[in-house]
Amino acid sequence: MSQGRIGRMFQRLRQEGRPGFIAYITAGDPSPRDTPKLVAALERGGADLIELGVPFSDPMADGPVIQRGADRALKAGTTVRAVLEMASEIRKHSEIPLLLFTYMNPVLRYGLDNLARAAVAHGIDGCLLTDLSVEEADRYIGAMRAQGLDTVFLAAPTSTADRRKLVAKYSTGFVYLVSRTGVTGEQESIAGSAAELVASMREVTDLPLAVGFGISTAEQVRSVGRIADAVVVGSALVRTIEKNAGSPNLEANLEAFTRELAGGLRS
């Protein structure tokens, strides 16, 4: 069990007897100076953990909404270093768990060990690399563990039983279950395969299980919350940021929408 912020957060959720709400936003969207304020709005709205997306020019796991968010962030000058600075800024006022959500390429360019050291120094709690398969993750896991960072891996409905075991073995903090195949993005109904995946993953691990991809309404959050330990919402939040970018109501509207989504997990 992880002893860091992520582990303690899930421990609290167990005591409260409710599933958690995980919010994804792309760091630097619409601009680096907005991100710490948006994270504070998410926290006030009821987010339990923040996934900070590192914008990447070729985000192949992401759908159009998050791709546009990454474009805005990159145009605003967001680099890996800038994301770390945002994390430091967030840490001045918040202890909410922060998970870096990114791809292998930016990490390798920064240097694995360098990034792990810098991440801890800036208050990051763990990483999730969407395009790194667990079979090829030895060096990465070593570098992260050496700094006490959690490593979260993805499992999908298409993952084989062997893959699921490896994901369970090498994940710390929690396991991220992809509710369906395809890219990130909102959809009308959550595939029943999510429930099956939760059940098959539960057989191989006691780690908390978070379900994401395609969850965009309070009703969906509530229904996924019945089967999972945490529910991840990304695109719907990024779309709210997109709609309100430049508006003085950006933070208030993001907070209100988060409260609407997360509220159903607290009753």
Report yes or no: 204 and 171 within 8 Å, Cβ to Cβ: no
User: Could you tell me the smallest distance in angstroms from the CB atom of residue 82 to another protein?
Assistant: 21
Question: Is the Cβ of residue 124 or residue 137 nearer to another protein in the bound state?
Answer: 124
Does position 203 interact with another protein (CB under 8 A)? The reply is no
In the numeric block, which tokens belong to residue 57?
């020019």
d(CA 51, CA 152): 11
Listed residue (197, 190, 198) closest to 214, CA to CA = 190
Does position 222 interact with another protein (CB under 8 A)? The reply is no
Report yes or no: 144 and 2 within 8 Å, Cβ to Cβ: no
Does position 11 interact with another protein (CB under 8 A)? The reply is yes
Does position 5 interact with another protein (CB under 8 A)? The reply is yes
Query: Which residue out of 62, 89, 186, 255 is catalytically annotated?
Result: 62
Does position 15 interact with another protein (CB under 8 A)? The reply is yes
Contact residue for another protein among 69, 97, 106, 214 (CB under 8 A): 97
Report yes or no: 6 and 97 within 8 Å, Cβ to Cβ: yes
Does position 121 interact with another protein (CB under 8 A)? The reply is no
User: Could you tell me the smallest distance in angstroms from the CB atom of residue 170 to another protein?
Assistant: 23
User: Could you tell me the smallest distance in angstroms from the CB atom of residue 121 to another protein?
Assistant: 11
Report yes or no: 10 and 229 within 8 Å, Cβ to Cβ: yes
E strands along the chain, which residues? 20-26, 49-53, 98-102, 126-129, 150-151, 154-155, 175-178, 209-212, 230-233
Report yes or no: 255 and 236 within 8 Å, Cβ to Cβ: no
Question: Is the Cβ of residue 17 or residue 246 nearer to another protein in the bound state?
Answer: 17
Q: Is 95 marked active-site?
A: no
Does position 12 interact with another protein (CB under 8 A)? The reply is yes
Q: Is 255 marked active-site?
A: no
- The residues of the shown chain that bind another protein, judged by CB under 8 A, are 5, 8-9, 11-12, 15-16, 43, 48, 93-97
Catalytic center residues: 51, 62
